[in-house]
Amino acid sequence: MSMEKQFENIGDGLLVRAPAKINLSLLVAGKRPDGYHELETIMAKINWYDEILIEPGSEKGIELICKGPYDVPEGEDNLVYKTAKLILETGYQGNRESGKQGTGVRITLTKNIPAGTGLGSGSSDAAGTLMGINRFLKLGLSQKKLGRLAAQLGSDVAFFLGGPMSFCTGKGEKVQKLPKSEFRVFLVVPDVSVSTKRVYENYRHDTAKYEQFNRAISGYIKKKRIDLVCELCANMLQESCFELNTKLREMKKGIERTGIGPVCLSGSGSSMYCVIDKGNEEKIVTYQNKLARKFSCKSMILNSNSW
């Protein structure tokens, strides 16, 4: 799959590509007073994209069209719609105060990345919509302002405003950019949608495991050795996810039996990946058809994203 540009002018519209992400590590430090879990995670974009086409609207307001192989809510229940409404209200606040009306937009969302798979596609779509409308309508909102809007939309949205790799803490909304690190992954996307809420509700904290992973990963980040972070396959939500979805545990074991390498869960699941080298690619291509037949899943070889 090729590396595409983030923004592309098409006719009188703007196409925005919204990349998937994987979690190269995901630690749970404990539970916060507000009921959320305190996270420490390294997130990295990969070159698989949803597409958001922003065009002038035929009338004032927001028109949303959803396409692609995966179903998503339409209208006001869609996060892209909510995002567009939020940034238009913010960007045109001065116009409203002066009695002027804002411009409407027509948004076509092509959903190539399934939701509920730990790849962050909803959050990426929201970030892409924020940046795209700001750029298309020349609203002039600063990166800091976009960040504040992102915080209102979801914990991972702020990460997708920057990147391509960051260390994220809090609920995921506190973002510290990391140096770019190139890698290649074999991504497996099972035909299973996982409820993030249920995975967190089922999670049982292991303080000793957190402290062990935290020491190792902190050291690797200081040494700029993200490759060593990848080798740990540290995802503290994995056991909770597999307890709720035993098919995923069996799939992980089955992939690892091929000798491709350690298999890591992304986010709260269901997607899994192996960091690979070129020497493994021929073996993986041979295995892909068998994997699809046995486990009913999509798989592909992808690269780290450059932006």
Boundary of a domain, candidates 177, 211, 229: 177
| Whether residues 139 and 203 fall in one domain | no
Distance CA 139, CA 290 (A): 50
Same domain, 137 and 82: yes
Q: Model confidence over 106-161: pLDDT tens digits?
A: 999 999 999 999 999 999 999 999 999 999 999 999 999 999 999 999 999 999 99
Residues 106 and 227 in one domain: no
User: How much is the mean pLDDT over the chain?
Assistant: 93
pLDDT above 70: percentage of residues in the chain: 96
Q: Is 2 a domain residue?
A: no
The answer as to whether 294 is a domain residue is yes
Residue 270: which domain range?
Answer: 184-303
> In CATH, what number is assigned to the domain containing residue 120?
3.30.230.10
Question: Is 63:118 a contact under the CB 8 Å cutoff?
Answer: no
127 closest CA partner among 69, 43, 204: 43
Block residue for tokens 């070129």: 278
Under the phi-then-psi rule, with left for phi > 0, alpha for psi from -120 to 50, and beta for the rest, what region is 118?
left
> Is 279 among the domain residues?
yes
- Domain of 219, CATH number, reads 3.30.70.890
Q: What are the backbone dihedrals phi and psi of residue 76, each rounded to the nearest 5 degrees, phi first?
A: -70, -15
- Lowest average pLDDT, out of 62-76, 257-271, 277-291, goes to 277-291
Asked whether residue 17 is assigned to any structural domain, the reply reads yes
Same domain for 252 and 148: no
- Omega cis (within 30) before 193: no
What's the average model confidence in pLDDT over 6-34? 97
Residue 203 lies in a domain: yes
Contacts made by residues 2-5, CB under 8 angstroms, sequence distance 24+? 2/47, 3/47, 3/303, 3/305, 3/306, 4/47, 4/49
Listed residues 152, 177, 202: the one ending a domain? 177
Same domain, 121 and 165: yes
Same domain, 83 and 223: no
Residue of 291 and 21 predicted with greater confidence: 21
> Residue 127 falls within a domain, yes or no?
yes
**Burial class of residue 20 (count of CB atoms within 10 Å of its CB; 0-12, 13-18, 19+):** buried
Whole-number Å distance between alpha carbons of 85 and 64? 11
Q: Tell me, yes or no, whether 77 and 188 share the same domain.
A: no
Look at residues 307, 1, 2, 279 and name the one whose alpha carbon lies nearest to residue 165.
307
Domain match, 153 and 290 both: no
Same domain flag for 270 and 294: yes
Last residue of a domain, which of 130, 156, 177?
Answer: 177
- pLDDT tens sequence across 38-77: 999 999 999 999 999 999 998 778 999 999 999 899 899 9
Residue 30 φ/ψ region, left for φ over 0, alpha for ψ in the -120 to 50 degree band, beta for the rest: left
Q: What is the pLDDT of residue 66?
A: 97
Q: What is the pLDDT of residue 102?
A: 65
Q: Of 273, 270, 183, 204, which is closest to residue 233 (Cα–Cα)?
A: 273
Catalytic site positions: 21, 156
**AA letter at 231:** E
Task: Name the 3-class secondary structure at 262.
Answer: coil
Q: Tell me the per-residue pLDDT of 79-88, one tens digit each, with 9 for 90 and over.
A: 999 999 999 9
The answer as to whether 242 is a domain residue is: yes
Take residue 227 and report the two structure tokens written for it. Answer: 């490759």
| 1 is a domain residue | no
- Per the structure, the count of domains in the chain is 2
Domain check: are 23 and 169 in the same one?
Answer: yes
Residue 182 structure tokens: 């190139």
Identify the band that residue 98 occupies on the pLDDT scale cut at 50, 70 and 90. Answer: very low
Instruction: Answer yes or no: do 62 and 93 share one domain.
Output: yes
pTM above 0.85, yes or no: yes
Domain shared by 13 and 162, yes or no = yes
Q: Determine which of 28-37, 70-79, 211-220, 286-295 has the lowest per-residue pLDDT on average.
A: 286-295
